[in-house]
Amino acid sequence: MKKIVLGLAALGLAVSAAQAQTYPQRPITMIVPFAAGGPTDVIARIVGDHMSRTLGQQIVIENVAGAGGTTGITRAAQSQPDGYTIMMGHMGTHGAAPALYPSLKYDPTKDFAPIGLAAGTPIIIVAKKDFPAKDLKGFVDYMKANGEKVNMAHAGVGSVSHMTGIFFSSVIKTKPTMVTYRGTGPALNDLMANSVDYMTDQIVNVAPQIQGGTIKAFAIATPERSPALPNLPTTKEAGLDGFEVSAWNAVFAPKGTSPEIVKKLNDALVKALDDENTKKRLLDLGGVIPTGAERTPAALQKLVESEVARWTPVLKAAGATAE
Ligand code: MLT
């Protein structure tokens, strides 16, 4: 009996090695857990476009929005670990989510095969063009004076826009009214239409509108200014201490995906990040290109572990929870 079991196990290994050898044989689905047009979607389409060329198969983006990105990530985590379903996660879905969803159906540190970091995304405080403040100090004063009369847009509890919005509110001690969207793509449309007041969003989503003057930007929450928005002051320069945060987006596969397939996917991602045109598209939007050392699956695993540890106390202290 034992010989049969060993034989079957060896056969199974041989089959998966053969599958990995010929992978990919058909299009790959990349689940983006937010609505089309937002930062996660934009990054997925930019890197996915070049990854398709290296892999020789189309990477098809599937937007599965809801619950701050956890709906899409849950579906991706439960998909077959055959390399044909991957996902674009980020600091919210793979950092904040455990603190905000006690019954979360996945563990960011255990239920995935990390592929690699795709882009860093500094956070920017943006407001509708009609917002009655001309700089960050005026904005904060207005927020303090008007509390819940001010509406903050976000992409669902646990999204980057939500968690950084909570962080911002705890720093300036205000409690705005939250308005939930299926992504900050749709939220930005309402900001441009002056029908929601402000949000803290990833630079790759709002840079074109800031450059075009269709929305207001008060500051970027990083120690240095962004080359994509050289005239936008940092929060520190604008007089606000204690609010510095940069998000990140990264590619994951479900746990159990074979090391050979993980390597092929990581190789395609690294080639995309080294491609001049792909780099330019990300940099023009203010994205930050990961360094070589930051691009490995092991580096991403370490980042996820440290981010879950970092954000859990911050969000619990802010009393934020989805349930
Ligand atoms: C978020 O976390 O706010 C999302 O990245 C927004 C989006 O991608 O639509």
Give the ligand 1 atom nearest the CA of 41: 8
Give the position, in ligand 1's atom list, of the atom nearest the Cα of 201. Answer: 3
What is the position in ligand 1's atom list of the atom closest to the CA of 249?
5
Give the start-end residues of each E strand in the chain: 28-32, 59-63, 85-90, 112-128, 151-154, 177-180, 198-202, 215-220, 246-254
- In terms of CATH architecture, what is 122-220? 3-Layer(aba) Sandwich (3.40)
Could you tell me where in the chain the CATH 3.40.190.150 domains are found? 2-120+248-317
Residue nearest to ligand 1 atom 5, measured at CA: 40
Give the integer Cα–Cα distance in Å for 261 and 24: 9
Query: Where in the chain are all domains bearing CATH 3.40.190.10?
Result: 122-220
Residue 155 Cβ < 6 Å to ligand 1 = yes
**Residue to mutate (ligand 1; options 202, 206, 245; most atoms within 8 A of CB):** 202
Using CA positions, which residue lies closest to atom 9 of ligand 1?
183
Query: Distance between CA 155 and CA 162 in Å, rounded?
Result: 6
Quick check: 70 and 162 in contact, CB under 8 A? no
Please indicate whether residue 38, judged by its CB atom, sits closer than 6 Å to ligand 1. yes
How many Å lie between the centroid of ligand 1 and the Cα of residue 93? Answer: 10
Q: Is the CB of 165 under 6 A from ligand 1?
A: no
Phi-psi region at 147: left, alpha or beta (left = phi > 0; alpha = psi -120 to 50): left
Site of tokens 């395609």: 268
Would you say the CB of residue 89 lies under 6 angstroms from ligand 1? no
**CA-CA distance, 252 to 86, in Å (whole number)?**
6
72 lines ligand 1 (CB under 6 A): no
Could you read off the pLDDT tens digit of each residue along the chain, which spans 323 residues?
778 777 777 776 666 677 778 999 999 999 999 999 999 999 999 999 999 999 999 999 999 999 999 999 999 999 999 999 999 999 999 999 999 999 999 999 999 999 999 999 999 999 999 999 999 999 999 999 999 999 999 999 999 999 999 999 999 999 999 999 999 999 999 999 999 999 999 999 999 999 999 999 999 999 999 999 999 999 999 999 999 999 999 999 999 999 999 999 999 999 999 999 999 999 999 999 999 999 999 999 999 999 999 999 888 887 776 65
> What is the per-residue pLDDT for 12?
66
The whole-number pLDDT of residue 70 equals 98
Give the other-Cβ count within 10 Å of 245's Cβ: 19
Q: Which CATH number fits domain 2-120+248-317: 3.40.190.150, 3.40.50.10160, 1.20.910.10, 3.40.50.300?
A: 3.40.190.150
Q: Is 93 close to ligand 1, i.e. is its CB under 6 Å away? A: no
Pocket test for ligand 1, best of 71, 160, 188 (most atoms within 8 A of CB): 160
Give 200 Cα–ligand 1 centroid separation in angstroms: 10
Quote the pTM value. 0.94
Single-letter amino acid, residue 182: R
